[in-house]
Amino acid sequence: MKRLTFLSVLLLLLASFHNASSQDLKINDLEYFETQGVNILVYNNLFTGGFNDEKTAGIELIHHGVRTSQGGAVRLSNTPEQWDLVPAISNRKVDRASNTIEATLRYEDYDFDSRVVVTAKGKGVEISVYLDKPVPKALEGSAGFNLEFLPSQYWAKTYVMDGRINRFPRYVVGNTITRPNSEKLKQFKGYVTYDDRGTGKFIDPLPLETGRTFLLAPDEPERLVKITSHDADIMLFDGRMLAQNGWFVVRSLLPAGKTGKVLTWTIEPNAINGWLREPNIGFSQVGYLPSQQKVSVIELDKKDKPLAKASIYKIGDDGNAAEVFSGNIASWGDYYKYHYVKFDFSSVNTPGIYYIQYGDFKTNNFLIENNVYDKITDATSDIWIPIHMNHMFVNEAYRVWHGEPFKDGYLQAPPNTDHFDLHAQGPTTDTKYKALEKIPGLNIGGFFDAGDFDIETGSNISVVQNFVQTWEYFKPLRDQTFVDQKQRYVDLHRPDGIPDVLQFIEHGTLNLVAQAEIIGHMTQTLSNSVLDNYHHLGDAASLTDGLPYNPNLGPYEVAPDGRSSGVKDDLWAFTSRNPSLDLRAATMFAATSRALKGYNDDLSERALQQSKRLLIEATELLANQPQDRPDRRGGSANMATNLQLYIATGEKQYIDKFQELLWPALERNVNFGLLTALDAIPHMDASYKEKLRPYVVKYKEYIDGLEKDNPYGVPIGLGNWAGGGGVVSFGTTICFASKYFPDIIDASHAFKTTNWLFGCHPYHNYSLVATVGATRPKAVFYGNNRADFSFIPGNVAPGILFRQPDHFENYDDWPFLWGQNEGTIGGNTSYLIFGSAFKSLVK
């Protein structure tokens, strides 16, 4: 009886589902299917050959403003992982007359082509797969059509398969089987994947359900989708069984031995009649100074009619709120998918607690006070940065963030080795070490790159340079971290009498100097040798067994003396020489030699020695490269190196070379070289500053152009990595340009960066810095604790990721998309410079 009652309700819901949908799907001018509340993209975003399945490609569904589904394509496994093979899209055709988008998908490894044709059918689309040749024998039972759904939008909601009712699990559950690794590796990119303790098996999830008609979230109209298969079973898998970043996968296998139209699905996303996206009221979650300009940017559905006014309410000491300001709404215009208006409430300058009211929508509270920016970098410098110190035991009160990682050290990467993190060892080692020979002395200092545990040398070079500039410009004496290099121990919130930034400089330099001295040049990276280690989540000290690999021992065998093992888990040093990277290191070594003088004189002298040597060697190597190589002269690295060496030594040869390179660089792109040019001002005469003035004027024109480019007035990145780094660099440049040229660059432009970082941006109004912006900071990030849906305080997200052709997003309920949620050591130390410069500016 209960089942009949549910099915009756379900039928009524489905009837309303069809009646509620307002309009049929049609191909719009941006070449995707659209009706109000539903966008279906068909290979507007392509799979890449770099990190392969980034969960941002294929057939995608943007459902009532949220990208809830992606990855629609012919795939070779039930629940594809990040490094599984992805199809190349060799051809894409849009036919408006037939309301059809077609793409040709190819797997080169198997000489396997398929065509996917998506046709609008009323309120939904029909997806058909065509084959000109049958599925290759090797892929029979493996090739199928997949569509993936975002777990965070569906867990705890119901689903119905052929009338059978169930609920999407909050945490992964289900059954699996094991198969020989050889079967998996055929479909994988070829990396060693599972540390399976010698079983020779890999895990394959079994479907949660199988049927022909699948209904997702009938209890949630905003997420309701109906999928019908006409000629093959639909299977539902939970991709989180293999990887925490897996999605719910809906899949049908392609039949063996058939050609022509071999599979057809009908997909009908519910479109709520009259649905409008709620306004996104952008403002600074951190708050505002009483004296600064205060402008809220409000993001609206294009079908939403802007209101004439908005209001500011002040919360009194009695807890009651009173309206203290009402102002006009000014239209900015359309920007990609949405319409933007602005609300200027600069006249509100009395310190207090406030919120914005726009129609029926009320924001959380924010502060107006003179101290709102005082602590914007504290969480980054006190917590996030020391947690990312490699080769150290890091403790915080009762919590251990990680033990001492990689006691086993680093082995020489074998020649001609491709790496899953886009590195490669060339045909030789470029060192005196043989393949898989231990390189002694590298397991010291350095910083984890990001949400993983490798040392990206290029990033670490930038990091130390960032610390040095922070130290030399602002001399931050903040001391909240205990660092003991001898004991390899770090304790948070425990002063030790030494400024933290100085200890961070030392820690980064120790690893980089070791590379230069022991190897003779800079490595590309010190990274994982097997993929299972690379995607490790948890304590970095548990990533390896801490014992150097001994090829004379059997798998997982430990030597009688306990000093080596047969476990191939040691990290590798990728040592192919890159003279441009050596130049960047020379820049950093010159700078760090100054900062460490008087604190660690031995390391200071070693750094300066390596700077001079690497400059000479790298310059000679670059000069001998072919004329058409873009990095032949070292570009900005060479320019900055010579500036830093001049500051360190005072020798005229370096400053002459700096100026020889600087002015042509500024002519080519003033945005690219201006910050380096500004760094030189304190060390140059007055004529240099005057010669620089026209370029600052040109930069002012760039700033003004941004006001017309987008409603936020900042450089918004549109690539596969969100553009927060560019916004931070923009803010830093303004801070220094306004310091030296206040008559040209108004300091108020720097507030555009803080507004963006702390909540005034597209998609939502969360602060992009973990714990900064007390009321609504982002709650999840792509850090090494991402499996816990957590964050590391002070982490700075890359920000608002742009998806072609017109969609911005930043998930705060799903941390696993690194392009929008992964803080990096390079990005976070760039934020440290900006925050320090900005605090200095507002004082």
Indicate which residues carry an active-site annotation. Answer: 813, 822
d(CA 93, CA 116): 11
Chain centroid to CA 120: 34
Distances in Å between the Cα of 834 and the Cα atoms of 374, 440, 565, 585, 732 are 13, 37, 46, 22, 5
Q: Which two tokens stand for residue 159?
A: 């689903």
Residue 91, C-beta contacts closer than 8 angstroms, at least 6 positions apart = 102, 103, 104
C-alpha to C-alpha distance for 294 and 801, rounded to whole angstroms: 25
The CA-based angle 659-662-667, given to 5 degrees, is: 135
Tell me the two tokens of residue 506: 């030392």
Q: Alpha helix locations (H) across 531-578?
A: 531-534
Contacts of 651 (CB under 8 A, 6+ apart): 645
> Any idea of the CA torsion for 280, 285, 289, 291, to the nearest 10 degrees?
0
Both tokens of residue 822? 């992964």
Please state, as a whole number, how many other Cβ atoms lie within 10 Å of the Cβ of residue 719: 10
Taking the CA atoms of residue 829, residue 835, residue 840 and residue 843 in that order, the dihedral angle to the nearest 10 degrees is -160
Q: How far apart are CA 501 and CA 491, in angstroms?
A: 15
Residue 229 amino acid letter:
S
Beta bridge partners of 358: 361
Of the candidates 453, 409, 581, the residue with the CA atom closest to the CA atom of residue 512: 581
Q: Which residues contact 786 (CB under 8 A, 6 or more apart)?
A: 244, 451, 537, 780, 815, 816, 821
576, 620, 662 from 625: Cα distances, Å: 15, 9, 22
Name the E strands within 207-286. 209-211, 213-216, 225-229, 234-238, 248-253, 260-269, 280-282
The token duo for 786 is 């991402």
Q: How far apart (Å, rounded) are the C-alpha atoms in residues 358 and 281? A: 8
In DSSP notation, 56-101 reads S-SEEEEETTEEEEEEEEEESSSS--TTB---EEEEEEEETTTTEE
Q: What strands, in cross-sheet order, belong to the sheet with 393-396? A: 399-402, 393-396, 489-492, 481-484
CA–CA dist 276, 217 (Å, integer): 20
Q: How many residues are present in the chain? A: 843
Specify whether the CB–CB gap between 531 and 421 falls below 8 A.
Answer: no
Q: What are the two backbone dihedrals, phi and then psi, of residue 38, each rounded to the nearest 5 degrees?
A: -135, 125
- CA atoms within a 13 Å half-sphere pointing along the CA-CB vector of 746: 9
DSSP SS3 for 324: strand
What are 38's two structure tokens? Answer: 């539903």
State the Cα–Cα distance between residues 646 and 655, nearest whole angstrom.
6
Which residues are CB-neighbours of 757 under 8 A, at least 6 positions away? Answer: 724, 727, 728, 767, 768, 769, 796, 799, 831
- 643, 660, 742 from 652: Cα distances, Å: 10, 12, 30
30 SS3 class: coil
